[in-house]
Structure 1
């Protein structure tokens, strides 16, 4: 995979620099899709499935932060690059939790943007083609959304995949019951269905793979 293979969604709220940046991107990557706000960006993301999203914004509100959060619920493969002239961005901590490839303060050089594109390409390759170690002898493959244990592959259903991705995004953190309910079902769910999801995922890994923190939630047990 090379930089000129990248399909990029460029979300630009700063029209002053639009031509400069989009022209540079068009000379470098395979294709550039343009959007100017969160709603349009989400539609373009769903339509084209870009492998890189570049956002140029001053972040006067959190609409684009919420956009990236929405995308990250199901998608850990797509790389994010932020361009901004806002040196006191109050949403920076929220953004850093979304696995940014690069956070660039403006003005910046063409060389820095080119470097960031190459970095994004490397990260995308690793996320697509590499297995992530979850515990001793247990790996997760992003491309196939499957668990690999003792050289055997177990394909996950949609809810199992969502839960594993949630744990990967929140390493070493207890995830509350309520957060899991919202992320997986987007509303309340029966106790039976909740326990069934945990039980089925444990069967594909090992019994103590998902630790229950009584009265609080669950976390991954990375030590078998």
Structure 2
């Protein structure tokens, strides 16, 4: 994907020159003449790095950076004159990543841009790799939907009321769809103790079928696998 480089500079000549440098490196320059325009551009485009002049009319680079850092974390490189040392320090303290002093050479600016883009890419990659997967709050198999936290079940969009043990058994099945579970596995998972008499599983499953099956004697979902156990069959919705 082509990277968008935001250039916020009130001097048109400098702005256009930087745009040429960025285009030559394969980047897409987005040009703005002041901080307000820069903030608007951030809302309209995915920005990968910003090159920002400090002294500008309407809204300067310092104020723009203060607003930007409330939402965005892309690198910001300040452009500054030698007389703006205090502003450079202020800018770095509020969230700018670097600065280039005017007048500057194209090679220096390009090198800094590439360096900060590499760091930003590594940061994004790290965030993606360490991102915690979203915990499922709902399960759906066929037309059965189960809400883990609210402890509610719907079949064909109609609410079905289950006992706590029936709910636990169904939740176990729906966490293991299209997989055979033995009566012992079901008992030990739900009752949290060694299975001695598994006849209670047969009773609970019969009652569960009466609540979720259209025809409990010819079940569509919870089926017996003779000599092995039970299986919940159906298409899984993720």
Give the TM bin, normalised by the shorter chain.
0.5 to 0.7
Relative to structure 1, the CA distance from residue 61 to residue 94 in structure 2 (aligned partners, 3 Å threshold; closer, same or farther) is: farther
CA distance in 2, matches of 1:101, 1:46: 21
2:34 counterpart (31, 34, 37):
37
* Partners of 2:54 and 2:60 within 8 A in 1: no
Change (3 A) 1:62 1:30: closer
CA contact (8 A) 1:79 1:100 kept: yes
Give the distance between the partners of 1:61 and 1:145, measured in 2 at CA: 40
Q: Does the CA-based 8 Å contact 1:101-1:119 persist in structure 2? A: no
Per the alignment, residue 79 of structure 1 pairs with: 75
Distance 1:84 1:94 in 2: 12
Q: 1:9 to 1:106 in 2, by over 3 A?
A: same
* Counterpart residue number, 1:91: 87
Equivalent residue for 2:118? 122
Alignment gaps of 5+ in structure 1: 131-140, 156-224
Q: Is 1:18 matched with 2:15?
A: yes
Structure 1 SS opposite 2:86: coil
1:145/1:62 Cα in 2 relative to 1: closer, same or farther (>3 Å)?
A: farther
Name the CA shift for 1:32/1:62 in 2 (closer, same or farther; >3 Å).
closer
* Residue of 64, 67, 85 corresponding to 1:67: 64
Q: Secondary structure at the match of 2:55?
A: coil
Residue of structure 1 equivalent to 2:98: 102
User: Per-residue deviation at 1:64?
Assistant: 2.2
**Residue 48 of structure 1 pairs with residue 42 of structure 2:** no
1:27 to 24, 28, 37: 24
Deviations 1:87-144 (A, max 9, x none): 33432232112443321101111210121121121121122012xxxxxxxxxx3x48
Structure 1 contact 11–37 (Cα < 8 Å) conserved: yes
Task: Tell me the SS of whatever aligns to 1:33.
Answer: strand
Matches within 5 A, 1:127-142: 127-130=123-126, 141=127
1:171 corresponds to: none
Bigger Rg, structure 1 or 2: 2
Q: Aligned-pair RMSD on alpha carbons?
A: 2.7
Change (3 A) 1:66 1:144: farther
User: How much does 1:35 deviate?
Assistant: 0.5
Higher relative contact order (CA 8 A, sep 6+): 1
TM-score (norm 1): 0.52
SS at structure 1 position matched to 2:47: coil
Report the Cα distance in structure 2 between the residues aligned to 1:24 and 1:67, rounded to whole angstroms: 23
Instruction: Work out the number of aligned pairs and report it.
Output: 135
